[in-house]
Structure 1
Amino acid sequence: MVDRLDEVDKRILYRLVRDARNTSAPTVADEVNVSAGTIRNRIDQLESDGVIRGYHAHVDYERAEGRLTNLVVGTARIDERERLAKQIAEVPGVVNVRQLMCGTGNIHVTTVGEDAQELSRVTRDVSEVGLEVEDEHLLQHEEHRPYHAFGPEGRREGQSIADFMSLSGGAEVVEVSVARGAEIDGLTLREANERGLVAPEVLVVSVERDERILTPKGNTEIRADDLVTLFARGGLSEETVAAFRGD
């Protein structure tokens, strides 16, 4: 199953991949203009959905007592690939296993050892599991970076985030965070309708506040940092979205 991510989810993933240890919910919340409670709730959901599979230290094994890191490239039958990958991951000395969508060289195994002799032993153990070893390479260095499309590039500092999804027939669903000082900040939905900020054809589907999902009613007050989902059959005007974003 492919999970659809909105812009808040993407920014959370970007920051966690960039530096999970020093990323806090309030830090991300300030950046995307929602509450820290919302960020914590989103992280819990991303973990539950399997999008975030864990948090790991990026270790330089050469600096850890001069250990060597080796990349083993091997081939497994397509119908055996997943089973073999799981078995290989249990071999002592194996620190990473990747499955590739190709015919040959479809499993990459990263191994660590004190010296060349130990690396050879690990490769032999991997081969005995059933992997046909094609090649080996000593790794010198590896860089990790967050996916740039999930980051803040191209956005103004402090800009509220809106996520658009177009539906058939010109309908749109928009998820927008309410900026502090926006026209709708502090108004009830009834007051917003009376002032023309939310047109009659626009449906407020939900309001996410901290760790709660509110069912919108006429007396529901919209507050800064709320994450509001809007629906309109004929599409949403820029003026309506701006009333929430404070543009």
Structure 2
Amino acid sequence: MSSEFDELDELILYRLARDARGATAADIAREADVSPGTVRNRIQRLEEADVITGYHAHVDYERVGGRLTGLLRCTTTAAEQERLAAQVLSVPGVIGVREAMTGRGNLRVKAVGTDTADLSRISRKLTNLGVEIEDEDLMRAERHHPYHAFGPEEAETGADGTLGVAADEEVLTVTVADEATIAGRTLKEANADGLVGEDVLVVALERDETSVTPNGDTALEPGDRVRLFSTQGVPTDTLRAFGAHDVQ
């Protein structure tokens, strides 16, 4: 499936992740300039390949009788991780379990309770299963957004280096200039030096027509096309650090 994965598949996943109920095959087809039948066939293929594993409602449990949502970071042995993850999911009140690759905290559990006593009951159930609870947090709010790298290019740098941004979008693609302050630094160093705003995420990077998965150790080079995302708007200082010109 991965070898056949293309931009149409990415767009379909982006739109479905953003609003699976409202994204029709006809709407996606118009955006991609293909037929609705092509989109429906692609969706079926993505489902059959287990790329799309389901369609789920995002529920605000606090609005349903004032219920509380808890996040628990738990640890188990690698040999027992898969078995215990299945058992944890069967505990009443647990609505999600994620298996992480880390040694400590390799199970992340999301649970809903009527009150703190109910969440404590869930914690005791997990402990009785042989799971070690590292820490617990009450979740105040949760927000979702599809993977930005699969989405359409909402804004690009122009030939003169200026940036055009759609008013309702907060995804920008910038090109690292030769003289950019950020050039030669890793993302970890750039964040430590305050060159990337606190609310800014580097979600995709293209270098020499090759996609690079960005992480803290990724060093930015002149000519890199970097996609930035921010819920608050990308700060002017961040744009200047990438070498964008005529930023007001």
Same fold, TM-score > 0.5, yes or no: yes
Q: Indicate how the Cα distance of structure 1 residues 26 and 88 shifts in structure 2: closer, same or farther if over 3 A, else same.
A: same
Question: What residue is the counterpart of 2:85 in the other structure?
Answer: 85
1:191-215 superposed Cα distances (whole Å, 9 cap, x missing partner):
xxxxxxxxxxxxxxxxxxxxxxxxx
Question: What residue is the counterpart of 1:42 in the other structure?
Answer: 42
Shift of 1:130: 1.9
1:147-182 superposed Cα distances (whole Å, 9 cap, x missing partner):
0110012589xxxxxxxxxxxxxxxxxxxxxxxxxx
1:202-238 superposed Cα distances (whole Å, 9 cap, x missing partner):
xxxxxxxxxxxxxxxxxxxxxxxxxxxxxxxxxxxxx
Question: What residue is the counterpart of 1:124 in the other structure?
Answer: 124
| 2: CA distance, partners of 1:2 / 1:102 | 26
TM-score (norm 2): 0.60
Shift of 1:63: 0.8
TM-score (norm 1): 0.61
Question: What residue is the counterpart of 1:113 in the other structure?
Answer: 113
For residue 34 of structure 2, what is the amino acid of its counterpart?
A: V
| 1: CA distance, partners of 2:114 / 2:108 | 20
Question: What residue is the counterpart of 2:198 in the other structure?
Answer: none
Shift of 1:82: 1.3
Answer yes or no: is 1:103 the counterpart of 2:90: no
| 1: CA distance, partners of 2:23 / 2:140 | 28
Question: What residue is the counterpart of 1:71 in the other structure?
Answer: 71
Number of residue pairs aligned between Structure 1 and Structure 2: 156
Larger-gyration structure (1/2): 1
Relative contact order (alpha carbons < 8 A, sep ≥ 6): 1 or 2 greater? 1
Q: CA RMSD in A?
A: 1.6
Question: What residue is the counterpart of 1:147 in the other structure?
Answer: 147
For residue 43 of structure 1, what is the amino acid of its counterpart?
A: I
Shift of 1:4: 4.6
For residue 146 of structure 2, what is the amino acid of its counterpart?
A: P
For residue 61 of structure 1, what is the amino acid of its counterpart?
A: Y
Shift of 1:86: 1.2
Q: How does 1:188-207 map to 2 (within 5 A)?
A: none
Shift of 1:2: 5.0
Shift of 1:87: 1.2
For residue 32 of structure 2, what is the amino acid of its counterpart?
A: V
Question: What residue is the counterpart of 1:24 in the other structure?
Answer: 24
Answer yes or no: is 1:94 the counterpart of 2:113: no
Shift of 1:128: 1.5
| 1: CA distance, partners of 2:74 / 2:2 | 28
Q: Name the SS of the counterpart of 1:62 in structure 2.
A: helix
The percent identity for this pair of structures is: 54
Shift of 1:116: 0.7
Q: Name the SS of the counterpart of 1:59 in structure 2.
A: coil
Question: What residue is the counterpart of 2:217 in the other structure?
Answer: none
Question: What residue is the counterpart of 1:33 in the other structure?
Answer: 33
Flag structure 2 segments of 5+ consecutive residues without an equivalent.
157-248
1:32-79 superposed Cα distances (whole Å, 9 cap, x missing partner):
011101111111110110000100000011111100000111101011
Answer yes or no: is 1:60 the counterpart of 2:60: yes
Shift of 1:3: 6.1
| 1: CA distance, partners of 2:3 / 2:74 | 31
